[in-house]
Amino acid sequence: MQQTISFPSGTVNYIFQGRFEELWRTYDKQHTVIITSDHIARQYAHLFKAHKTLVIPPVESSKDLRTIELLAKDLLRLEATRKTTLIGVGGGVVTDIVGFLGSIYMRGVPFGFVPTTLLGMVDAAVGGKNGVNMELNKNILGTVNQPEFVLYDTAFLQTLPNSEWSNGFGEVIKYALIFDPALFEELCQNNISYYKQNNAALISLIERCVAWKNRVIMADERERNMRKLLNFGHTAAHAIENVYELPHGKAVAIGMVIACQLSEQIAGLDPDVTRRLKTLLQQYHLPVRLSINSQKAMDILRMDKKRVDGMIDYIVLEGIGHAAIHALPLTVIEKALTSYESHN
């Protein structure tokens, strides 16, 4: 199944139930460079042996300007031109780096993604945000630029460790909470094993999450308003993710718990929703408790790119399927972090 969607910054061809090998019907080896992670390069060496391939470590510390510079030098060595297409094969670290590099190399070259993790498939490869970090400041440098294609080959998920399945479900649960009560109920009735063993259900789940995100991006690609809803759980998550070296989906799980606890005070959220969320997160092997230093988290949060004049647009939950944007003072968020710290 293919779906083509046009955004202000570009048109994307989403290829669901695809196969990696299908790319070579459209792209030729001479004018493509694959950028992938070292473990994907080893595990699927047969897929890359005939192609120009660059390899990076799939860790958050790779998302910096030093990596971008090294890859740009490699592209020059490979004589990559404006006709060269970059293909990112990997998880969120790879797609972020390839999207950013593709947006700036020679003032922009075509690029596309083959996400190999559940997190990459439902979130990181979708939406056009491409960014790198500076020290502990996450995605502080970046672009909004759509890939030419996103190809979904679920065969890559067969070798995914259980921890990475959990990591991906952090973002899946986020979509359910802010947009889709029916999806929330579906998730409550199932577990990771169900989706691993039922490919049709897995593909349906991926398509559903991508559809929700694209619906938002089409309305607000530059995050002026509605797109901010996708940051539910992320404000606190970004403040603790790098400090505590947590995988993104697990940091988002903690962030969603904090956001729900704050929502009880700010938006009148029924505490039963917070309880149900915690149960669901644990069902998908995601954390609900983390010993944090609220002051360290606030030091990072004060540099959050969403901060304006001591305020941050914080996403709160009014009920399952109903999220809202509230401009909150940093002092209110600090109090929420301190409260979470004291109870964990």
Give the C-alpha separation, 294 to 279, whole Å. 24
- CA distance readout (Å), 310 to 241, 326, 331: 22, 13, 9
Which H helix or E strand runs over 298? helix 294-301
Tell me which amino acid residue 244 is: Y
Looking at the DSSP bridge assignments, the partners of residue 34 are 53, 87
Under 8 Å between Cβ of 271 and 277: no
Under 8 Å between Cβ of 58 and 117: no
E strands in the chain: 2-7, 10-15, 32-37, 53-56, 85-90, 111-115, 129-134, 137-144, 149-151, 307-308, 311-319, 322-329
Alpha-helical (H) ranges within 105-198 are: 118-119, 162-179, 181-189, 192-197
Give the C-alpha separation, 137 to 78, whole Å. 32
Q: Which residues are known to be catalytic?
A: 107, 129, 171, 213, 223, 227, 231, 234, 238, 248
Looking at the DSSP bridge assignments, the partners of residue 327 are 313
The residue to which tokens 């989906």 are assigned: 249
- CA distance readout (Å), 7 to 111, 162, 212, 330: 15, 34, 15, 33
The residues, any chain, with a CB within 8 Å of residue 175's CB and separated by 6 or more, are 122, 183, 208, 209, 212, 213
Give the C-alpha separation, 222 to 205, whole Å. 26
